[in-house]
Structure 1
């Protein structure tokens, strides 16, 4: 193989194996600092050289496009939020918008994109690391990075300096907690007359996610089962939907059918009677969606509805500070209760709908303990009577 230089930028060499001349053009660096190379080939040296010239000419023509001297970080972020997130769940978009309005725009929004430097971004992240968790730092870095990368594609700036910055370690986040058996029993007894009682019972005793319970419909609930079949089919809920975009569960393995402990069956029977009474009381104001858990007029619950109602219910319990607990920690408590009774992590992982035991261990590390038996049967034994 022989190497020959052409006149101007780039090089030509003969590829003995392919029996062709190979033209290689070096065109600088991209927004992430990686060298840009383009290649072409020809059967003759002249043909390859012409292709090399064409590559260099097209690159130079694109380089004549000057980046915007006036586009600011705020404009780039706003454009990304408005046009760069098609198909995303509205709640996700709103979360990104809150992060940008709270952390990105106040600190960097007025700076022109062409003036934004790696040092600027490093200093910004270092200042935020004093107050935010590592996960929050990763989120705000991602928002800014994606907004600036979109600006690069739209010729607003030549390179993305945000991509060159590492995310520092932030403050430790608040660790999730799990209820002890005594606390769980106290809560279930104290809120029996609260309209959140059935929700708390099902969440705590099945480990279903809050977004799965908010989407649960009565046609996916069987409170009778089929005791005469072989093998008998127990009362159960089909966790097949969630309030996520498209209505699907978080992962493929999240789609599961869970046997209901006796206490959950009783709570849901009473809840259905109470819901029928609310339907009659609301009359024409009732909006039927077939949902198990709703507002007082039948409309779907959102995350804030559940959070407020959950904390209001916990206010009935002596020795429990409602502000210290969130609905998702009922799921953590389910894992902890089963793990305390030596249920294998493989079984717990299936019950909570994780794609692997590694996910269960990573997310619920503080609640996982050794190993041995399973689900609704164990819960019945834990809450015997």
Structure 2
């Protein structure tokens, strides 16, 4: 059994909508509720375009000039590998919270070889399949990380919110969606002794100054590689963080820093200032040695011929340095975490650490970057030792 009534869609059209039930009483109840919502100004979904078409429009016309190039690349990758294959055929106006939740759960269970078409690429290159393209099928079980799913959730929530703003749907089905996920893995920062070993091992390296400023100032990898000599005042002893260097779309690209707060001015500690002055002398010597083959990029940290340093090459160089120092392998970005923790242990207020790292909120600094070490905890609780004095 069913009935129909006139309603207004989110894009301003007046249409007749049908409701159904197992009895006339149920149909009447649903019709009455629908009419009440219409009279209260509540509109029904009006968009008949697919999620795939909307995502193409959103990436091209809405979000392109609103985010950093690296973020846009991530969004395009997430849309191509997960949204379009798993949700693309759905009508935008029909999306409901259970639909979005089911999509995210399916994404968590889709191995990366399948999602990213790695096996298809291997086969076209004449290489043997390693995953579901094998016969019999044998999934590699390399599922996306929790971080990937969090990024996917944030992106689809932002995209659907823009659909609401554009009047394509009445509300955002991903807005209040909560997913079960593991907490971020805790990182054990370098201790003061570890940091000294690292700097000692790097002392004779041509990139010693890079590691010194990265550890002492918490610079991101792209920020360090994007530094120009015009960004450093060797007289006043300050550094201006203004741009980054990243690999995007197969080429090295200079771009803006992560946020407005990330564009910052930091005072250089005396050892870092001395290291940078010596680095400039060494770079000038390299320039003289190379001669006409030197590529003058204006960058502080370059290859031996003056060109920008490939970010992945810096990662490899960093791993070799850690091995040489006898330290455990960590990410280059973990120097930033270590900087925050070491500053905190020296009694530097969170707000000051926030300014140095370029965070928008001290909460981010405290929750994500500062790790309270056991030694710091012990020195704190030992302050109550007087309670046990005889």
Residues 311/160 of structure 1: CA separation in 2 closer, same or farther (3 Å cut): farther
Aligned residue among 228, 252, 265 for 1:217: 228
Contact 1:121 1:165 in 2 (8 A): no
Within the alignment, does 1:257 sit opposite 2:266 as a pair? yes
> What is the DSSP-based 3-state SS (H/G/I as helix, E as strand, rest coil) of the residue aligned with 1:86?
coil
Does residue 317 in structure 1 map to residue 325 in structure 2? yes
Show the counterpart of 1:375. none
Which residue does 2:214 correspond to in 1?
A: 203
Cα separation, 1, equivalents of 2:172 and 2:103: 13
TM-score (norm 1): 0.63
Cα deviation for residue 179 of structure 1 reads 0.5
Counterpart in the other structure of 2:155: 143
Q: Residues 355 and 146 from structure 1, CA distance in 2 versus in 1: closer, same or farther, beyond 3 angstroms?
A: closer
Deviation at 1:115, TM superposition (A): 5.5
Taking structure 1 as reference, are residues 94 and 355 closer, same or farther at Cα in structure 2, changes over 3 Å only? closer
Q: Secondary structure at the match of 1:315?
A: helix
Task: Give the Cα–Cα distance (whole angstroms) in 2 for the partners of residues 186 and 253 of structure 1.
Answer: 29
What's the counterpart of residue 362 of structure 1?
367
Give the whole-Å Cα distance in 1 for the aligned partners of 2:171 and 2:314: 41
Whole-angstrom CA distance in 2 between matches of 1:360 and 1:201: 21
Tell me how far 1:298 sits from its aligned partner: 2.6
Cα deviation for residue 127 of structure 1 reads 4.1
Alignment: residue pair count: 300
Tell me, which stretches of 5 or more residues in structure 2 are unaligned? Answer: 12-37, 110-142, 246-253, 378-390
Q: TM-score, normalised by structure 2?
A: 0.62
Output one character per residue of 1:56-78: Cα deviation in whole Å (capped at 9) or x when no partner.
9xx9xx99x9744xx43333223
CA distance in 2, matches of 1:85, 1:350: 28
Hey, what's the Cα distance between the residues in 2 that align with 1:367 and 1:305? 32
Equivalent position of 1:45 in the other structure: none
Residues 26-41 of structure 1: matches in 2 within 5 Å? 28=8, 30=10
Mean alpha-carbon deviation: is it higher for 126-135 or for 312-321?
Answer: 126-135
Aligned partners of 2:233 and 2:170: how far apart in 1? Answer: 57
Counterpart CA distance in 2 for 1:261 and 1:329 is 23
Q: Select which of 41, 46, 51 maps to 1:73.
A: 51
**1:290 maps to 2:298:** yes
Cα distance change, pair 115–257 in 1 and its aligned pair in 2 (3 A) = closer
Structure 2 residue 338 is matched with structure 1 residue 333: yes
- Residue aligned with 2:266, SS: strand
Select 2:105's aligned residue among 126, 129, 135. 126
2:386 corresponds to which residue? none
Supply the distance in 2 between the matched residues of 1:145 and 1:102 (Cα, whole angstroms): 17
Contact 1:293 1:301 in 2 (8 A): yes
Question: Larger C-alpha radius of gyration, 1 or 2?
Answer: 1
Over residues 270-317 of structure 1, what are the superposed CA-to-partner deviations in whole Å (9 max), with x where a residue is unaligned?
Answer: 322332243345444433232211233333346444433323432323
Per the alignment, do residues 120 and 345 of structure 1 end up closer, same or farther by CA in structure 2, a change over 3 Å counting?
closer
Q: Secondary structure at the match of 1:243?
A: strand
Counterparts in 2 of 1:297 and 1:161: CA distance versus 1, 3 Å: same
Which consecutive residues of structure 1, in runs of 5 or more, have no partner in the other structure?
1-8, 10-25, 32-55, 226-232, 371-385
Maintained 8 Å contact 2:64/2:72: no
Q: 1:188 to 1:345 in 2, by over 3 A?
A: same
RMSD over aligned Cα atoms: 3.9
Could you say which residue in structure 2 is the equivalent of 1:243?
Answer: 244
Taking structure 1 as reference, are residues 67 and 220 closer, same or farther at Cα in structure 2, changes over 3 Å only? closer
